[in-house]
A and B are shown apart, each in its own frame.
Chain A
């Protein structure tokens, strides 16, 4: 007989014991003590944003950030049915179809609060719109003045040799604003968008991995040498609020927005399929679109609230341009073409 079997049995026994203990640790009751809200890295609501929810329900909320928006959706797809949390915040209209195809969410759309009807995802019964924003090219007012250049006004200006080597954007394959900018050019130029990108590339556009690389490394406001950067329509109010040294509240923003380049990004939240706490998770989704939570979003995430009853703060009214007719693409069209567009785009724009 084997001489090692007793040892292997001991180990198997120990493992089995450990496994049973671990699975007994799961809380399967329907009113949990805490819920896990999975979100992208830049989800930064202020301290205490969930206190009202905890006070009303007795449930604590843990925020688990897991990469940028694209990574978040991919991980949710790989863990569909056996999720890492209970509710997901932050899949946007450019990536929504991926999440829906992977069957990431449980069927639930919150109707607890009045929501902007134009934001609701057609044909999706599992996600609730939580906020929206516009991805646009921004410019550094002082840096352009120093170069003696007027602010660009259109996509064509960006490809004009006068602005050669001045624009930095995030990659469409690894960043959600990057993808939004690609979609903006598709919406603007239709089938001719690859030609436009070829022009941008000959005009020495810089493509970096993510939004923060673009904004905080390559943008001239933060030590880089590019005065034109892909960012959001809400970036100018952020520049005023977070200015260092502080700016007076009535100061002009140091950056501007090229309003004709804006693409509308809508973010959604949903109950993750496979959570043990469906009822509690639905309550949390309701809370995410309540005025209490929505009113915190503009000055922390720099997005616009989806709740129509929420009043915009002064900083937004004053510094954020109103984007009356943003570029839009139907999410079904995005879903059908995204892979092919990214292929073509990679070939043109990635070194």
Chain B
């Protein structure tokens, strides 16, 4: 019983921020409208098919693009290998609106609002997943095994088919499954780069609720989206068989062509944020710092309902508050999941992962709307929901470290008379420090970039940077767009700083 109390806070958080809103939505959708009528409306089945279609297309593209550098980085030692590896995996932590804005900036105007732009942005995001998953698996394939096969006369194709492919398949299908889930439920990228007829379910939910004032239609779609996500995760968890492999790390020196190809890809990745920063200085009539001036003067003259400076402060404060909630709660959940191998703790930690943030945001405003429970205008709603969204990632970052703490240590200390607080300070905390840093970095970056739930929850005085980017990109004219690109650049820098500072503080 007492052991349960440790993670009651996390459970309450998930219940309040995720479960109750989802139940509220489900009840609302049953009560509110004719479900079959919503399904037959135009735009709905299109959104389902577009979600799955572009998801499949993006997955194929990301796997194809990701396999080449994964092969090169697994089999060869090339100059700057670690830098290349980092550069290819950084996009994964970037906020979705930053990537969306960067592709708006990078692509010629005629590709704006096209499927091509969406797929390219998804590839940029998800090559990291493929590289991260496939490189360890491919590195672990023993070169001697391949040499032996070749000596026995196997053609390169036969080697690939009979040795490499079977050994890579689990990692590859796991990566492809995850990429598909991410792309099919994509929101920020599609909000910015899609257009009429190019909406995923999440985007269609937002469009109905906020552009068309069709809340009952949006609630029905939200329930549908939740079912789709559960199905996707079921498929993914079957495909993902996690196997940690140890790198044999016997890499040959890379031929010039391979080195050049890898660095060309890295360079092309770097052009994306580069184009974003450049676009923040490019007005309709030449170069200009007007966009950046608008950022630093708070956005006067832009006629947007926000102060950019306030939004920066809001984003930072919310990120820190969210981390202060998510990290301790996540650690408590991780310990419960490890020590009692409680399936319930694991389930609580997975709930936010298995729900769409957009659906959660909508659920909160339709559920908490009466009497003393009417909290729609409260500022703390935003960091609270961010904490819930970050929780699963915190738990997953902490669990391996918690598992690694020898149980005997705490018992020995207790025998020697150390109080629980003392044991936590002297044993657990130092051992968990790297994990806490990773968890904090995850929580900070997720909160700074969170767009799905936030797009329903912020108000004029609680606006965050991603909302500002989206609002500005929706305005006509070159000044709002330059400012949007400048704000997105700020967001990019904040994210990278959050990741690297926390990372460095661990090493220090």
Contacts and interface: CB of A to CB of B under 8 A. Distances in A.
B421 A173 contact: no
Contacts, number: 113
Contacts of A301: none
Interface in B341-386: 365-366, 369-370, 374, 376-380
B213 A77 contact: yes
Interface in A1-43: 1-8, 11-12, 14-15, 18-19, 22, 41
Nearest to B474: A67
Contact of B376 (A3, A82, A209): A82
B420 A3 contact: yes
A77 B215 contact: yes
B304 interface: yes
A185 B365 CA distance: 36
B169 interface: no
A74 B460 contact: no
A82 B211 contact: no
B328 A174 contact: no
A2 B332 contact: yes
A157 B145 CA distance: 77
Contacts of A77: 213, 215
B328 to A, nearest CB: 5
B424 A74 contact: no
Contacts of A82: 369, 374, 376-377
Interface in A243-287: none
A22 B42 contact: no
A65 B420 contact: no
Contacts of B303: 41, 44, 65
B211 A217 contact: no
B212 A346 contact: no
A343 B476 contact: no
Interface string A324-351: 0000000000000001001100110011
Nearest to A77: B213
A347 B42 contact: yes
B321 to A, nearest CB: 7
A290 interface: no
Contacts of A64: 305, 460
B496 interface: no
A199 B218 CA distance: 32
A66 B305 contact: yes
Contacts of B196: 171, 173, 209, 350-351
B401 to A, nearest CB: 15
Contact of A3 (B9, B42, B424): B424
A338 to B, nearest CB: 10
Contact of A79 (B321, B324, B376, B474): B376
Contacts of A81: 369-370, 374
Contact of A22 (B9, B380, B424): B380
A75 interface: yes
B43 interface: yes
Contacts of B377: 79, 82, 84
A173 B207 CA distance: 10
B419 to A, nearest CB: 9
A98 interface: yes
Contacts of A210: 476
Contacts of A22: 378-380
B213 A70 contact: yes
B423 interface: yes
Nearest to B375: A82
Contacts of B212: 70, 74, 173, 342
B214 interface: yes
B325 interface: yes
Interface residues of B, number: 49
Contacts of A1: 2, 420
B380 A19 contact: yes
B42 A343 contact: yes
Contacts of A4: 6, 328, 331-332, 335, 424
Interface string B439-476: 00000000000000000100110000000000000111
Contacts of B324: 11, 14
Interface string A77-92: 1111110100000000
Given A4-B6, A4-B424, A213 B476 contact: yes
A49 to B, nearest CB: 15
Contacts of A217: 476
Contacts of B321: 15
Interface string B188-217: 000000001100000000000111111100
B494 to A, nearest CB: 22
B6 A5 contact: yes
Contacts of B260: none
Contacts of A41: 303, 475
B428 interface: yes
Contacts of B365: 78-79
Nearest to A345: B42
B328 A8 contact: yes
Contacts of B224: none
A18 B211 contact: no
A174 B378 CA distance: 29
Contacts of A75: 210
Given A18-B380, A65-B305, A84-B377, A8 B215 contact: no
A20 B311 CA distance: 22
A212 interface: yes
B380 A8 contact: no
A71 interface: yes
Contacts of B477: 216
B498 to A, nearest CB: 20
A84 B328 contact: no
A102 interface: yes
Interface string A200-217: 000000000110110011
Nearest to B459: A84
A222 B195 CA distance: 23
B423 A3 contact: yes
A257 B376 CA distance: 44
Contacts of B209: 74, 78
B507 interface: no
Interface string B318-331: 00010011001101
Contacts of B325: 11, 15
B120 to A, nearest CB: 21
B238 interface: no
15 contacts: A1-B420, A4-B328, A4-B335, A15-B325, A18-B380, A22-B379, A67-B474, A70-B213, A74-B213, A79-B365, A80-B369, A82-B377, A209-B196, A343-B42, A351-B197
Given A3-B420, A11-B325, A78-B456, 13 more contacts: A4-B6, A4-B335, A64-B305, A65-B303, A65-B304, A70-B212, A73-B213, A82-B374, A82-B376, A84-B460, A102-B213, A209-B196, A351-B197
Q: Ordered nearest first, which 5 A-B pairs have the shortest CB separation?
A: A3-B424, A74-B213, A212-B476, A2-B6, A3-B420
Interface of A: 1-8, 11-12, 14-15, 18-19, 22, 41, 44, 64-67, 70-71, 73-75, 77-82, 84, 95, 98, 102, 171, 173-174, 209-210, 212-213, 216-217, 339, 342-343, 346-347, 350-351
Interface of B: 2, 5-6, 9, 41-43, 196-197, 209-215, 303-305, 321, 324-325, 328-329, 331-332, 335, 365-366, 369-370, 374, 376-380, 420-421, 423-424, 428, 456, 459-460, 474-477
